[in-house]
Amino acid sequence: MEGVDHLAHERNKSEFDVDAMKIVWAGSPHAFDVSDRISKLVASDPGFRKDNRSTLSRKELFKNTLRKAAYAWKTIVDLRLSEEEAAKLRFYVDEPAFTDLHWGMFIPAIKGQGTEEQQQKWLPLAYKMQIIGCYAQTELGHGSNVQGLETTATFDPQTDEFIIHSPTLTSSKWWPGGLGKVATHAIAYARLIVGGREHGVNGFIVQLRSLEDHSPLLGITVGDIGMKFGNGAYNTMDNGVLRFDHVRIPRNQMLMRVSQVTCEGKYKQSDVPRQLVYGTMVYVRQTIVADASCALSRAVCIATRYSAVRRQFGSQNGGPETQVIDYKTQQSRLFPLLASAYAFRFIGEWLKWLYADVTQRLQANDFSTLPEAHACTAGLKSLTTTATADGIEECRKLCGGHGYLCSSGLPELFAVYVPACTYEGDNTVLLLQVARFLMKTVSQLGSSKKPVGTIAYMTRVEHLMQCRCGVQRGFAELSVDLVEAAVAHCQLIVVSKFIEKLQQEIPGKGVKQQLEVLCNIYALFLLHKHQGDFLSTGCITPKHAALANDELRSLYSQVRPNAIALVDAFNYTDHYLGSILGCYDGNVYPKLYEAAWKDPLNESVVPDGYHQYIRPLLKQEIRTARL
């Protein structure tokens, strides 16, 4: 029945202060207040409805996304929302759109790679959305290999301009979000050519469309690259294709914090690492880790609530069947994902600190932690997105057949999320960067340069390297093993930072105890999953492995009474979850049944096409093959 909490009995089992855990999940009382207020604002405004997405055509879907983006912007302006509140509103609108790239990449690129003068010119226009930007780096022929990009930017000293050109088909910009139909400007990455000499890939601000009638400017060919994975999902985003035909831009539209070109045509490289040109990608990778905890926690919330609602088998003398959440197999699949959601939340908090710290150091020309920041953002982006994409799919399976319904929210969540394993760096390519960092660290063992921070533990392998220092096989030859070592390195960071989180003051009855249980589940589940490596290297004995298994089962039993409260702590509205299976009150079956009849296919009891195709079949009016 409506208004009845079908999960009340589960909520009454909780052994900790859920409101206190909500603050821990949000990060602070202030962050909780902003999230709670804005999520409810979005949920209560019919202008942000999203339950019809799977029934719209691509063009209807895209136009609806533009409407919502404009409506969101109007809401932000009318309510005078702060930058933090506005970001939260865009998050809870929950629809990939051009604004993700305008706010998430175009603006950060100007802030990170533009000079003070360039920031003063372009940021006010971007913040007021008087221009809409995208990040145009990837090309048809190159994405991972940034140094392989083919677009050219040739300096013309006669006119003090750069000529931006797409020399080949494969140099066409391909994938940039927001590019296809909306962006008026791009940060385009191109090979800088000055006086016939190449100076690597740099970023250039290029206007793409008229601010009067939105038509593409002279020399610009631009459009959408077409439908992507899934129906609604990421098709709300106009990922685009862009070709330049000798497009001229003023010299001062090359982002010049890292490298400069003078009006005399002199190329100058600042005394900063050239990799700062990649700074926007590092920034986005750390935000993607926080996004991973959001996406995984959504899926886990849905699967946990539904696992408590769903009963199957086990009825004794006509009594109620067993809740599937009580099956040990269901717990062994679900609770490690619940623990991962919390683990990724805390590693996301730490990575945000690491990024802020390296940014502050860069301002003082201190580049000492840049390699570690690159390795951590690359590795943790790879680890958390892979685990989250796999976790969302596991949550769909944990919900049985109903998990495959769009009304469960899981198919769309999966379809929107999985590209995170590719965008902002293919996950394997990024792990290879971590592996390169680890090997460089190992090669420096024994020198005066002692490993610190997240690689401090590597001093312990020093003895290994000394006895094996002569044995070196090619990086490429060992890359599979090195990628596994990179994953293990990142997992160690996640576990370490979870443990460090527990050493902080954590208010609320039973809250720290619950987090300790989740931390132990996360760590022991990894040990169980990789026990072959731990056993073969002698890190643990078979008895240790058995003890870990026993402890995991015990920990699952400890989580069980708190599972619903632990997902309630995410404080997601039913609107944001977009899932009948995950609705707060657990009143699933009536809602599933009601939703079915709303499908357009049920607008008529006799389907279109019956008289044309089915009736002739049934009436044998179609010659049938001799049976």
Ligand X SMILES: CCCCCCCC/C=C\CCCCCCCCCC(=O)SCCNC(=O)CCNC(=O)[C@H](O)C(C)(C)COP(=O)(O)OP(=O)(O)OC[C@H]1O[C@@H](n2cnc3c(N)ncnc32)[C@H](O)[C@@H]1OP(=O)(O)O
Rounded distance, CA 129 to CA 134, Å? 12
Q: Which residues are CB-neighbours of 613 under 8 A, at least 6 positions away?
A: none
Is residue 58 within 8 A of residue 234, CB to CB? The reply is no
- With CB under 6 A as the contact rule, the residue among 41, 98, 104, 251 that binds ligand X is 104
> Phi-psi category of 210—alpha, beta or left, where left has phi over 0 and alpha has psi -120 to 50?
beta
Q: Which residue type does 139 have?
A: E
Distance separating alpha carbons of residues 42 and 48, to the nearest angstrom: 6
Smallest distance from ligand FAD to CB 110, Å: 15
130-189 residues near ligand X, rule: CB under 6 A: 135, 137-138, 143-147, 177
Of ligand FAD, ligand X, none, which one does residue 412 interact with (CB within 5 to 8 Å by kind)? ligand X
The pattern of x and - marking residues 81 through 100 that bind ligand X according to CB under 6 A reads -------------x-----x
* Residue located via tokens 């849905």: 302
Q: Please, what is the minimum distance in Å from the beta carbon of residue 399 to ligand FAD? A: 25
Alpha-carbon torsion 102, 106, 107, 108, what sign?
A: positive
- Please tell me which residue in 349, 412, 424, 516 is annotated as part of the active site: 424
234 binds, among ligand X, ligand FAD, none (CB under 5 to 8 A by kind): ligand FAD
Q: Is 103 in the site for ligand FAD (CB under 6 A)?
A: no
Tell me the two tokens of residue 3.
Answer: 């208004």
Q: How many CA atoms lie within 13 A of 311 on its CB side?
A: 11
Q: How far is the CB of 36 from ligand X (least distance, A)?
A: 19
Distances (CA, A) of 321 to 1, 318, 400: 20, 8, 16
> Is 624 assigned to a binding site?
no
Site for ligand X in 439-478 (CB under 6 A): 440
Residues 588 and 309: beta-carbon distance below 8 Å: yes
Among 14, 433, 441, 562, binds ligand X (CB under 6 A): 433
| For ligand X, the closer CB: 76 or 179 | 179
Question: Smallest distance, Å, CB 237 to ligand X?
Answer: 8
204 or 335: CB nearest ligand FAD: 204
Query: What SS3 state is found at 187?
Result: strand
Region of 86-94, 135-143, 495-503, 580-588 interacting with ligand FAD (CB under 6 A): 135-143
Beta pairing partners, 220? 244
Query: Nearer to ligand FAD by C-beta: 263 or 480?
Result: 480
- Residue 295 in the binding site for ligand X (CB under 6 A): yes
Distance CA 308, CA 294 (A): 21
Which residues are within 8 A (CB) of 79 and not within 5 positions of it... i.e. 6 or more apart? 85
Query: Would you say 138 is a known binding-site residue?
Result: yes
622 to each of 11, 76, 234, 490, 618, how far by Cα in Å?
60, 61, 42, 63, 9
Residues 6+ apart with CB under 8 A from 4: 585, 587
Is 424 a known active-site residue?
yes
Around 447, how many Cα atoms within 13 Å sit in the side-chain half-sphere? Answer: 8
Q: Going residue by residue from 140 to 169, which x/- string records binding to ligand FAD, judged by CB under 6 A? A: ---xx-------------------------
Q: What is the footprint of ligand FAD within residues 401-420 (CB under 6 A)?
A: 419
Give the one entry of ligand X, ligand FAD, none that residue 232 binds, where binding means its C-beta sits below a cut-off of 5 to 8 angstroms depending on kind.
Answer: none
The site for ligand FAD, by CB under 6 A, has a size of: 20
* 282-313 as b/e: b if 16+ CB within 10 A: bbbbbbbbbbbbbbbbbbbbbbbbbbbbbeee
Q: Counting contacts by CB under 6 A, is residue 175 touching ligand FAD?
A: yes
List, as residue ranges, the binding site for FAD: 138, 177
- Residues forming the active site: 424
The residue ranges that bind ligand FAD (CB under 6 A) are 101, 135-138, 143-144, 175-177, 234, 239, 419, 422-423, 425-426, 428-429, 432
Binding residues for ligand X, rule: CB under 6 A, are 94, 100, 104, 135, 137-138, 143-147, 177, 275, 278, 281-282, 284, 291, 295, 370-371, 374, 412-413, 416-417, 420, 423-425, 429, 433, 436-437, 440
